[in-house]
Amino acid sequence: MYKSLIFYITILLLSLGTAVSAIEVKEEDKNGDGKTDLWVYYEEGRPLRIESDRNYDGNLDMWISYKDKGKKLTEVDLNFDGEIDMRSYYEYGQRTRFEIDVDYDGKIDQRSQYRNGRLIKLERDNDSDGELEIILDISDRQQTEQIILPQHE
Ligand SMILES: [Ca+2]
Ligand SMILES: [Ca+2]
Ligand SMILES: [Ca+2]
Ligand SMILES: [Ca+2]
């Protein structure tokens, strides 16, 4: 009840914004219980944001936002306690960063960073002291692959 009120206010606010940019929302009821569990927001026909209730408990647990330059952020509440435990960042369709809280204590336990789809930095809290230790870091290394690669005949 409360949640749907918030939802309608959101719609109202979005409708008020239509003069500036047309935002449309598409709702889906994936499990057929009569309650929406997937919302897709479009701006001028392009997806802007996706919100999802993956376990159908009435609370959102996945958010995907799309930004310029192919940037995308995925946030997931893996254990459905209302706190986000996993974040993936994308740029031009490639993942640039990934963070996960494996034990759901609110602190990230592993973070990986990518460049051109390759892992360049990996941090993990190996001793569970709440601080991430650097496992791998080649982020300052120049990419030499292009130079080494043989020329096409
Ligand atoms: Ca549903
Ligand atoms: Ca949920
Ligand atoms: Ca969580
Ligand atoms: Ca943790």
Give the per-residue pLDDT at 147: 47
**Considering only CA atoms, which of 144, 129, 133, 127 is closest in space to residue 111?**
133
Q: Cα Rg for the chain, rounded, in angstroms? A: 20
pLDDT in tens, 101-132: 999 999 999 999 999 999 999 999 999 888 99
How far is Cα 63 from Cα 48, in angstroms, rounded to an integer? 11
Question: 46: helix, coil or strand?
Answer: strand
Helix (H, G, I), strand (E, B) or coil at 65: strand
Question: In angstroms, what is the span from residue 30 Cα to ligand 4's centroid?
Answer: 31
CA of 114 to the centre of ligand 4 (A): 21
- Ion ligand 1 neighbours (CB, 5 A) are 29, 31, 33, 35, 37
Contacts with 9 (C-beta within 8 Å, 6 or more apart), sequence order: none
Q: Alpha helix (H) ranges present in the chain?
A: 2-16, 145-148
Phi/psi for 73 (5° steps) reads: -125, 125
Model confidence, pTM: 0.77
For 33: left if phi > 0, alpha if psi spans -120 to 50, otherwise beta; the answer is alpha
Counting residues of the chain whose pLDDT is more than 70, the rounded percentage is 80
102 and 110 Cβ atoms separated by less than 8 Å = yes
- Output the six-digit token pair for 133: 């230790």
CA–centroid distance, residue 34 to ligand 4 (Å): 36
The 10s digit of each residue's pLDDT in 94-103 is 999 999 999 9
Ligand 4: centre distance to CA 98 (Å): 14
Q: Taking a C-beta distance cutoff of 8 angstroms, is the pair 56, 33 a contact? A: yes
CA distance 48 to 50: 7
What local confidence, expressed as pLDDT, does residue 128 receive?
A: 86
In the reported structure, the alpha carbon of residue 47 is separated from the centroid of ligand 2 by a whole-number distance in angstroms of 21
DSSP assignment of 132-150: PEEEEE-TTS---HHHHSP
103 by DSSP, 3-state: which?
A: coil
- For residue 63, how far is its CA from the centre of ligand 3 (angstroms)? 13
Report CA(15)–ligand 1 centroid distance (Å). Answer: 24
Looking at all shown ligands, the one closest to residue 100's CA atom is 4
Q: Grade residue 14 by pLDDT with cuts at 50, 70 and 90.
A: low
Q: 64 CA to middle of ligand 1, Å?
A: 19
